[in-house]
Structure 1
């Protein structure tokens, strides 16, 4: 019988042996067909799989030639009618007409599926798993290159690893330890970061009597995770580790492929003695849909998909909801998610990817940043590289029972990085795209949403309108048809009917028919959405003039949501008028509430509003509206920054008061809330202004937000904002703006531990500042180079930098710059071990800060003085300085400074003979540092806790905190890592005597 092999070199096997398929490209075509054996594969998909997106002009002709030769080869090798395999042309593309069982990949999946069956036990299950693994002959699709091959190859490897883990546990039930251990050692060497493999190896080692080696295996894995991903081992690995330490690790009697431990196993019962840090439980689902009706069949299918998690415990269950715009994909996903959210106690993640937004679709990288933030990761810890973000995300959700809703994805590529790797997660993706790649490569269950069936469309109207539908069934049916049975249009019509209770449904249907005909005449291209646009137009034309204008101008907003102040800026009207317009638009379902006081617009409505604004508002009016909007964001951001960082006001661009109403951000709490809630919009403004002819707004807004993004640990956002600002300044020929943006990029890169990039940016900024004669910019940049050199372990160079900066600031009469530099010089003297000049410089800085009324600077100088006193062994005096600094930082709400002071106080208490108090101070600093995303102070807190616990003879806790400090310092790339490593080596090689 003719068979096809993909789990190794691509081969065709007959009774006579291996058939020569031909060159690699032809084998790639055959593989692209065989993965979908029995199903048509469109020509476009075949071309993409073989040549990728940038395929050559002759790809289609080459494909036809390969298909002809494959067809002839299959005809030639057939041994009889029963063995006939053909390549046929179908309406949907080309199909390899063969039973999937003839393809080793499908046979492997079938065997693995049977092994998961709850009714399969013992030897039978083990035989199935052995047979499945025996199908692998090496690297799958060996010799075939290209993005598609690489992508599916990795997916198949993950499936194999799942089966290997299940096989290992099944073998251990038979007492076969050596074979399991040998095979798992090889695989762990090949996949060193796959936690289920390491857990399986630890179980095998423990079962063979090598508990010590199993613990070493865990320690090595933990070190790899910390060094490469900056994470701790997942829940399963920690449970195995703890069970081995307790000596009560039992092999499961009937393990499942996903979780080798049975429910009765101690691995599944957390030890009440263990203390694990609380994990964030995100609840990101939007509000449930009001008046939801119908879709019972689709809801039942989603329920069935969820039930499959019991039968597919090694795979992430994915549902792909596909359908046209306005068909109710989001409503269905959100309604179902609310129905089942109690099944996901570890949280629900939701993101609107805005895949069809003409201006600002959300990138997968930005969505990952939002998810990581919701999962409790501080902004400073979120990496810039999308691959690293995806890895951190998968690690964060590993082993957690979570629901992930990816709404409005434009393509598989936009959604793929957001797929978790843990079978405990369930994913729902909505898209207008068919998402064929999710189905083919990730096993997604596709649910195509068609127009509502007539009874369900009428039921939705009945839910929204009431008894009038029963009184006029024919008119209701006519209205449903005029709305194309799209839920979005039906809701708009229902709102209009509710607003006109005296009108009959028949009258409303007649009016809509007239409007539809008018739009049809305008639509010479035969737009199939004309009926829906007629509904939109019907709603739009009944708006008052000011609300209609607001609706049009809303399409210009580049961000994901907006409030009444933004509407007032766009329209140039009062806040009262803006709120009235939003209220009218919300009641007409032309916008929808997104959060408290904030609104968003369906992408189909946004497109309609965008069409209207180009028809009714000329270029001058559109540009004026955008300018008012950007002025509003810039001015409010400047006011918020002046509230939070008043002493730094002179370092930010001068911004004129806004012409439109502005929210109150005069107190620190409201300023922080506004900046945090508007951060996505502010970043969108930076991007839009840079690319649409308003470069000055991009440059000034990024510079204005510098301290907020830096102090808040929003380094990925800072990189985005300052990069847009640099490009905008370059396009405008603004050398001063470019210098400021490049200097800010240098600071972001040193915060991220990329010192080489930081040095390059700062040197480029310094050259630009000197070129344009900006001595203030030069002084600040030289000082930043000094801070960078201190971090890099070059105190001598840092001293030279700060000395030069001090001279410049004094020459310019910039006393704030002078005071900051004196404090920085004092810190360098501490590094150099010169305590007297360190104290002198900080005392002078303290005096200057007090003269200037710079409370934050005063507290910083006190903190530095505390460090000097601690170095001199005067711990009580050091503690006094830290306590005074702590009071000031708390008074002004400077949380970073508060963490510094707490850590300094902890160090003083620890060395002063009060380690228990030190634990309390460092723990507070640790919690605060994690909360604000300050990685350096987080590492310092772990280091201080290590010292304090060591003084308390709690060596296990000391070792744990020092290891976490080492991980953080190593990731930051700072010299302190070497000191921690030496301390740990000493602790490990000189254990305490019994």
Structure 2
């Protein structure tokens, strides 16, 4: 039997065991929605008929509704706890209200009003249940609007309550953009206006708050014929007499909350939790290292305690899985430091290079703050030492399988050994997993299971999953199976548990179907951190639907977890177990072929995404996919962006995994095709890392064109992030190779990048020379898009050299070509250059118009860097016309964009704002 849940907050859905099992027609979904909206109450047939046929119902309407109800009953048959009963001339649907997202939303929102310390978390969880407009795919638009309006009001009320808590906790800068979007959708909603006024004031933007009030008052009077309500008027009066806000928007520090979710079934560890609480009460820097066996619950304990004391660290909680014992190797502390600094609000341009410099910068950034760091699964002291805070008021909890005695000796860390749980805690855990009644029914068998698992929580969880396969599965038989492996489990007390858990893991493995067992072994080849069903199907060379059933089988036996909808992953120990099975039970040829199929899945997905995101650049074709590899259909540019964002961690790891496993062509090809996405998103670290590996892979493959492409990609990343001299070296190497290949387009691209490099150095004479060369080569290559972009670059260089007539001439030529080749991103850049040309000629009114058109077009097509550059130039022209407030707004918006994509030019804009304020 399966478990069914229902979703109304978005498209109407039925979910069975985590998979959609929706009614086949819109009419059935409408009937289901009406039954769920009146859960537990009788819905008369007449109401259903009126909803389905609002104008004139057919003669057969009642019989048709009965057919829909019958089909719904068949759909619900897999879950006896969901009942659809006939009552007179109507029907009543009953189930646990927690199965329906609408009622879970309401319960969480209600709890938020009574649980003040956790109110924000509860509201965030409640709002996370919304997947779009409620009842989005109901058959009747009139019926949907009449029912969804009230639900939308509930959502907005909860959202407003959450925003109030954000503002009260000092996060006003984070909600201003969100409120701007909401007000655009609901311009007459007074509470949103009041919240935005309060947030703007807290950001030091009181003048904008007062302007917003006057604008809203005008809208209310003109559209509704009413004056603002008393609360909005009171907020206006408060701001008129309020002192300046404590700090401006750009100086408010973000408050990261990076902890994984807490475990709802957490039991025991009372003494350890109390000990940690007592330690936290002491003055100074809090530093604790938790060590113990794999699977003993170190991570669960650390995360649970960190959630429990989160209010003691008002400036945030940082979390990193150091993967100290992962098959892919431990994580680099320098990379983690960069992520922590970004989370704490340090822009990319201010993150220093090198481990020691980043560690010192983290300590400086934490000064004066109260932040808790959870450093999970550390390999050794060396991996952890640079990540530790040294500021009183901050703290760190480190978990590791090893005894980190060096941290105790040198950093004064208190070491706590996390031992196996005691008998009563183990029984409580078993009862939470299987139900107290079932455990009490067989107390002797439950006691034998606890003894056999030696108090190891992970082992208990696996045994519980085994016992939970059926309600009538006798605990005595589980205990008997466990006792046959008693010798292995006894060794948990003194040896590494990874070997001893094989026996426990093997129970679930041996119970699998043959195809599911093969899939588990092949998934041991995946490099993580997670994967989709399509990726698993590529590994196994099996149809997606068949693979989905196998993945569900693995999830049911707890060998896999679905940590996000549609994304699956292993526990670290289970991943190691699967990898061991692959190494011992699959042939070398089978492993190579499966890896090839998996890499083809990611390569072809990245290739089609690059062609959608950078439509005017020609990418070399890739080899056809190996038989069995599953393709990826992105649909459009938005779909390509979503896929790249979702798969980013897997794709970047694929480059290193392909290089390490000898698939060099896949390594450099995936890296090259990730560039458009990484550039648009401003993701400098993965861009640099993947292109560096691409150079190595292409060189080892001895592929001249790939080598040239890889050097070009690496140089582009380095120019973006300011390493100009190293970039020049790679551009020289790429140019030499493109010229040897007689590749006109590649040669043109190099000169374009040299133009960008010279512009970054403010040498516009050299930049113009390279742009002229690029124009020649693009015309020889017949690349219209490249010709247009180069004409734009030439115009921009002339504008910066004080030649407005030539600047306008070339920019207008570029715009004409962009119109012909349909390149909106290029057009946005040309309009920005056109604005610069007008500004250099003193025509700031025309410059402002060009910059605004550039901004609109750039944002529409995801070009945040172009939009930010145009926004900066817009501010320059506004300032030339002495419009200071508008200038500040433009530069602040540019700063937000640049910080969002971690562009180093954010520092320049910040300096411009500071100078204007001074």
TM-score, structure 1 normalization: 0.64
2:278 matched to 1:304? yes
8 A Cα contact 1:574 1:660, kept in partner? no
For residues 751-774 of structure 1, what are the alpha-carbon distances to aligned partners after superposition, in whole Å with 9 as ceiling and x for unaligned? 222221111111122122223333
Q: Distance in 2 between matches of 1:485 and 1:699?
A: 48
Instruction: Kindly state the Cα deviation for residue 720 of structure 1 after the two structures are TM-superposed.
Output: 0.7
1:610 aligns to what?
579
Aligned residue for 1:499, secondary structure, equals coil
Maintained 8 Å contact 1:484/1:532: no
Q: Is the 8 A contact 1:512 1:538 kept in 2?
A: no
2:687 pairs with 687, 712, 718, which one? 718
Report 1:86-101 matches (<5 A).
none
- The one of 493, 496, 519 equivalent to 2:466 is 496
1:460 Cα deviation after fit:
1.7
Matched, 1:551 2:527: no
1:664-679 paired onto structure 2 within 5 Å = 665-679=634-648
Match of 1:486 in 2: 456
Listed as ranges, the matches of 1:676-825 within 5 Å are 676-825=645-794
Instruction: Provide the C-alpha distance between the structure 2 equivalents of 1:669 and 1:346, rounded to a whole number of angstroms.
Output: 35
Which residue of 596, 602, 611 maps to 1:627? 596
Q: Distance between the aligned counterparts of 2:401 and 2:383, measured in 1?
A: 13
Distance across 2 between alignment mates of 1:528 and 1:406: 21
Give the superposition deviation at 1:530.
5.5
What is the match of residue 210 of structure 1?
Answer: none
1:275 aligns with 2:276: no
Shift of 1:718: 1.3
Choose the corresponding residue for 2:307, options 320, 338, 354: 338
**Cα distance between partner residues in 2 of 1:294 and 1:788:** 60
Distance 1:447 1:528 in 2: 19
Distance 1:942 1:321, change over 3 A: closer
Match of 1:434, SS state, is coil
Q: Which residue of 501, 506, 511 corresponds with 2:481?
A: 511
State which drifts further: 781-790 or 434-443. 781-790
1:365 Cα deviation after fit = 2.0
1:285 aligned residue: 259
How far apart are the structure 2 equivalents of 1:507 and 1:322? 34
Give, in whole Å, the separation in 2 of the partners of 1:861 and 1:663: 33
Shift of 1:515: 6.0
Whether the aligned pair in 2 keeps the contact of 1:360 and 1:558 (CA below 8 Å) is: no
CA gap 1:274/1:867 in 2 versus in 1, 3 angstroms? same
The offset of 1:498, in angstroms, is: 1.4
Equivalent residue number for residue 64 of structure 2: none
Q: TM-score, normalised by structure 2?
A: 0.69
Match of residue 424 from structure 2? 455
Q: Is the 8 A contact 2:792 2:811 kept in 1?
A: yes
SS of the residue corresponding to residue 743 of structure 1 reads helix
> Post-superposition shift, 1:454?
2.8
CA distance in 1 between counterparts of 2:330 and 2:265 reads 29
The CA distance in 1 between the partners of 2:715 and 2:742, in whole Å, is: 20
Q: 1:832 aligns with which of 795, 801, 818?
A: 801
The reply to whether residue 907 of structure 1 matches residue 882 of structure 2 is no
- Measured after TM superposition, the shift of residue 595 of structure 1 is 3.6
C-alpha distance in 2 between matches for 1:476 and 1:306: 37
Please give the per-residue CA displacement for 1:758-813, whole angstroms capped at 9, x wherever unaligned: 11111122122223333322221122112212222333322222222211111121
Instruction: Go from structure 1 to structure 2 and tell me whether the alpha carbon gap of 1:744 and 1:825 turns closer, same or farther (over 3 Å shift).
Output: same
Could you say which residue in structure 2 is the equivalent of 1:563? Answer: 532
Structure 2 match to 1:36:
none
Deviation at 1:358, TM superposition (A): 1.9
C-alpha contact (below 8 Å) 1:569/1:629 kept by paired residues = yes
Provide the C-alpha distance between the structure 2 equivalents of 1:559 and 1:876, rounded to a whole number of angstroms. Answer: 53
Confirm whether residue 386 of structure 1 aligns to residue 355 of structure 2.
Answer: yes
Query: Counterparts in 2 of 1:153-552, with a 5 A limit?
Result: 272-277=245-250, 278-308=252-282, 311-312=283-284, 316-379=285-348, 381-466=350-435, 467-514=437-484, 531-552=500-521
Partner of 1:591: 560
Query: Is the 1:322–1:434 contact (alpha carbons within 8 Å) kept by the matching residues of 2?
Result: yes
Residue correspondences, number: 670
Partner secondary structure for residue 404 of structure 1: strand
Corresponding residue of 1:97: none
Which of residues 836, 843, 855 in structure 1 aligns to 2:812? 843
Question: Contact (CA 8 Å) 1:372, 1:393: kept in 2 or not?
Answer: yes
Task: Check whether the contact 2:744–2:780 (CA below 8 A) recurs between aligned residues.
Answer: no
CA distance in 2, matches of 1:883, 1:794: 27
Deviation at 1:712, TM superposition (A): 2.2
SS in 1 for 2:374: strand
Q: What CA distance in whole angstroms lies between the structure 2 residues aligned with 1:420 and 1:580?
A: 47
Cα drift, residue 653 of structure 1: 5.4
Q: Structure 1 residues 382, 637: CA separation in 2 closer, same or farther (over 3 Å shift)?
A: farther
Distance in 2 between residues matched to 1:398 and 1:596, nearest whole Å? 39
The superposition leaves residues 636-665 of structure 1 with CA deviations (integer Å, 9 ceiling, x where unpaired) of: 2233333333233x1465475785445653
* In 2, Cα distance between equivalents of 1:494 and 1:475: 12
Of the three residues 909, 912, 918, the one matched with 1:941 is 909
- How far is the alpha carbon of 1:724 from its aligned partner? 0.8
Structure 2 equivalent of residue 177 of structure 1: none
Quick check: 2:348–2:904 contact (8 Å CA) kept in 1? no
Which deviations, in whole Å up to 9, do the C-alpha atoms of 1:876-914 show, x marking residues without a partner?
111121122222123223222211222222222221232
Identify unmatched segments of 5+ residues in structure 2: 1-242, 490-494
C-alpha separation between the residues in 2 aligned to 1:853 and 1:595? 38
CA-to-aligned-CA distance 1:330-357 (integer Å, 9 cap, x gap): 1111121222222222221111111101
Q: 1:643 aligns with which of 589, 593, 612?
A: 612
- How far apart, in 1, do the equivalents of 2:249 and 2:827 lie? 38
- CA distance in 2: counterparts of 1:283 and 1:670, whole angstroms: 28
Judged with a 3 Å threshold, the aligned counterparts in structure 2 of structure 1 residues 599 and 304 are, in CA distance, closer, same or farther, namely farther
Q: Aligned pair in 2 of structure 1 residues 941, 789: CA closer, same or farther (>3 Å)? A: same
Given that 1:380 and 1:713 are in contact with CA atoms closer than 8 Å, whether structure 2 keeps it comes out as: no
Which consecutive residues of structure 1, in runs of 5 or more, have no partner in the other structure? 1-269, 521-525, 950-956, 960-994
Pair 660,377 (structure 1): closer, same or farther in 2 beyond 3 Å: farther
Whole-Å separation in 2 of the counterparts to 1:291 and 1:749: 48
- Indicate the residue corresponding to 1:582 in structure 2: 551
**Residues 652, 704 of structure 1: 8 Å contact kept:** no
Give the Å deviation of 1:579: 3.4
Whole-Å separation in 2 of the counterparts to 1:600 and 1:460: 24
Q: Deviations over 1:177-202 (max 9, x none)?
A: xxxxxxxxxxxxxxxxxxxxxxxxxx
After TM superposition, give the deviation of residue 822 of structure 1 in Å.
1.5
Matched with 2:890 is 921
Tell me, in whole angstroms, the C-alpha distance in 1 between the residues paired with 2:305 and 2:324: 21
Q: Residues of 2 paired with 1:817 and 1:432: CA distance?
A: 55
Flag the structure with larger Rg.
1
The aligned counterpart of 1:954 is: none
| Conserved? CA contact 1:279–1:376, under 8 Å | yes
* Alignment of 1:863 onto 2:832: yes
SS at 2:378's partner residue? Answer: coil
Structure 1 residue 401, shift from structure 2 partner: 1.7
| Structure 1 Cα separation of the partners of residues 648 and 276 of structure 2 | 35
Kept in 2, the 8 Å contact 1:886–1:898? The answer is yes
